[in-house]
Amino acid sequence: MQANNHPIRRVVIAGGGTAGWMAAAALSRTMGKILDITLVESDEIGTVGVGEATIPSMITFHDLLQLNESEFMAATQATFKLGISFENWRNVGEDYIHSFGTTGTDHWTAGFQHFWLKARARRLAGDYGDYCRELKAAQMDRFAHLPDQGMNYAYHLDAGLYARYLRKFSEALGVRRVEGRIVQVGQDAQSGFIRSLTLDGGAQIEGDLFIDCSGFRSLLLGQTMGVEFEDWSHLLFCDSALAVQTGSTGVVPPYTRAIAHHAGWQWRIPLQHRVGNGLVYSSRYLDDEEARRMLLSNLAGEPLMEPRPIRFKPGQRRQTWRGNCVAIGLASGFLEPIESTSIHLIQRSLIRLLQMFPSAGICQTDIDEFNQQTAHEVAHIRDFIILHYHVTNRDDSPFWRACRELELPPSLRHRISHFRETGRVFRVPNELFAENSWVQVMLGQGIEPERYHQIADMMGDAELTQFLRNISGSVEAVVRQLPRHQDYLRRYCPAP
């Protein structure tokens, strides 16, 4: 497929939902004055809508859009999120929190974990989480904005309301929405580029650049452009989910709960008006009816709907941009929601597209760079997700035993071995998860480093004790002054 120097002026987004309307919002806010943007969606086609938990990078995306935070949160029934509580992952009855904050104070030669490891060996340290502001705030159900971005946070939100909010935002900036189901995709005979979408009512939508937000169907990139799917089912065993909403229980913790079971895990996402619940599982180890019974018997509130089944295949398209078609969201691939990365990957693809936007025409080197960056980013996230399953003490079911026996990608095998042997973590440039995230999860899942960096030996016991006490004392002092999360929501962004 050849490049094309035809100027890009007409952008067509195929599909709505979170991905489609995020694309429309980003393009219209940044380039709406020079682009003709059309979004095609059908009310007859539902959206997956499981992406109700986010990570802090969403704040950057909203800054790009210049959104008002309290207005957005009220409109989407949103709450604040300081991390994820992993329950029963290391072993049944053992929990830890992967928080969004930083832990302790690093030295330029070594991360804080090395000082903590020495102190713990000498029985001078508390829990690793005692030295992280966001983690302690999550444990105490407290939250407030702090000066100088002193609190790292994300959101829990209603994905359907979020798409509706962004639709209103985008249409005000000139995006045209067309109702209809796509029945045919027209291609140029010579270049293979997409030229038009034909809808069930007969309307034909022509464009220069097409953004595929058609979900798992991948109507444009997969079906039309023929980009193959790389299946990662041999690395990530979960391939099914059930989603159900329940009424509010009155408790709104500032974190997501991820509760492991014998063939997967269950999520609980607290919103202002309800709780999002779901069961993620492997169909190889749990049948659908048993999964339904398990989910319904482990709900904290009354179900507001019948559980909705979702089938997925973990993996990624071998390219996410081919010709004049870019896939965003589920159309490009899917990694299960354990670390709430789906919406992040949507916004990363959009920012990458805006940085390489082919205003003067399609350029193959841009396509190659886009695909390479995407592949590396997704692979690092995939490895981080596999870590949760593989490094565990659980052997109580065939599912967990299979996870422990998994043949790891070399990149992840090296990270685990390096941390176990040295306590060190080195972040790959531009990857999503920071060193502290890897440390929190590897410690939380049960990896015990064999040694620590000798820089920690520069402190004697008294100095090390005081060093740790100053950090934990500062954390405790700040968190104690924070209001209850639920009280802060009522004042800051009460939903109608």
Structure-token pair, residue 226? 């023929």
Rg, C-alpha atoms of the chain: 23
Angle between helices 461-481 and 112-121 (to 10 degrees): 110
Cα dist. 63→27, 60, 269 in Å? 14, 5, 24
Instruction: Report d(CA 209, CA 221) in Å as an integer.
Output: 12
Instruction: Report d(CA 57, CA 433) in Å as an integer.
Output: 11
Spell out the residues 6+ positions from residue 483 whose beta carbon is closer than 8 angstroms to its own: 142, 143, 144
Q: Catalytic one among 81, 118, 168, 313?
A: 81
Structure-token pair, residue 78? 């949103």
β-partners of residue 279 are 242, 266
The H or E element spanning position 11 is strand 10-14
- For the question of residue 168 being annotated catalytic, the response is no
Cβ proximity of 323 and 8 under 8 Å: no
Q: What ranges in 95-181 are assigned the alpha helix state H?
A: 112-121, 133-139, 159-172
Structure-token pair, residue 463? 């100095």
Question: What does DSSP assign to residue 222?
Answer: I
Cα dist. 264→88, 161, 209, 397, 441 in Å? 11, 28, 39, 11, 17
Instruction: Report d(CA 454, CA 411) in Å as an integer.
Output: 26
Structure-token pair, residue 284? 């190889």
β-partners of residue 277 are 244, 268
End-to-end CA distance of the chain: 51
Structure-token pair, residue 246? 């329940």
Residues designated catalytic: 81
